[in-house]
Amino acid sequence: MAVLWVAGPAGAATSSPSLQLARTIRTSPFVNSTISMKDAEGSAYVPKDNSIWLADDNGRAIYEVDPTNGNLKRMIGSATFEATPKFGGGQVAGSTRDRDIESMAYDTARDALYVFSGICCSGSSQPTAFRMLRDPSGVFQVESYQPLPTGSDFTASGWNPADGKLYVGVHKDFRSYDYATNSPGPTFQVPTLRAILGMSFSADGQQLYVAHHDSSGAAQLSVVDWGTKTLVPGWTFTLTSFGIRDSRAVEMIDGRFYILDGYDGRAKGDPLRHALYVFNVQG
């Protein structure tokens, strides 16, 4: 059984955890489809749908996947993003706002999904936040977008249920972001944590899970005590021994970590190309 440590009053770990690879979910192609991700970047989990959404910058698309069996439920591509209207009214997004889809986050309180597109790797890419809301039939649709400040590149994002805020991250910096006002907050850091690529929060908002690289470029997963903004001792895992070369996103689903590998070096058709790795937590 997976056991996840929860921060106590003293903020000290009560176990010596380890990761055990339970299985992988293929995305190249998906198990029930001929569709493949072109580059794996971000994720967001929607519990009420039992869906994990995956972001693909090279494919300019997002995918809704069943985390239980790996089946592809739905794909939303560039035509939809480009036709999305600006929040509050204005011109549609066009072809320059979905060129670098990097991260996703799900706001449980508002039942809203957010998709962030950055500035790589074209001079014409415009950083953008997209919001997805449910239509009358209960299906998520891309509802609006906000143009982000020039230079914004939110490679990681997650919603915290404890304070109800959306947070984004890039390099070593975290900040809050409010979609309605299109307002990024001031930056802050977690000591020694760098190369932030993916993030999500625990169900109680007390821990932040971060997919990142260490100083040598090795793929890692770390748990942050959100109250103290410090790494939890013993809860940083190097993932290279499992075959993960480029940890890009992380979700905690039913006591297991789901980590997306963005490594591009595997051959097309390799079942581990851009795979989603599922880990039990022991200890």
17 cis-preceded (ω within 30 degrees of 0): no
Contact between residue 156 and residue 197 where contact means Cβ atoms under 8 Å apart: yes
> Is pTM beyond 0.85 here?
yes
Q: What is the pLDDT of residues 218-251, one digit of tens each?
A: 999 999 999 999 999 999 999 999 999 999 999 9
CATH topology of domain 18-282: Neuraminidase (2.120.10)
How many CB atoms sit inside 10 A of residue 140's CB? 21
Distances 194 to 13, 85, 116, 191, 220 between C-alpha atoms, Å: 22, 35, 20, 9, 11
Report the alpha-carbon distance of residue 252 to residue 12 in Å, rounded: 20
Contacts of 55 (CB under 8 A, 6+ apart): 40, 41, 42, 43, 62, 101, 102, 103, 104, 115, 249
Sign of CA dihedral 91, 180, 103, 194: positive
Structure tokens belonging to residue 248: 């890009």
Q: What pLDDT band is residue 48 in, cutting at 50, 70 and 90? A: very high
Report the alpha-carbon distance of residue 224 to residue 201 in Å, rounded: 9
The predicted pLDDT at position 15 comes to 65
Percent of the chain whose predicted confidence (pLDDT) is above 70? 95
Structure tokens belonging to residue 6: 């929860």
The predicted pLDDT at position 10 comes to 34
For residues 30-48, one letter each, b for 16 or more C-beta atoms within 10 angstroms of the residue's C-beta and e for the rest, the string is: beeeeebbebbbbbbbbee
Q: What is the pLDDT of residues 252-280, one digit of tens each?
A: 999 999 999 999 999 988 999 999 999 99
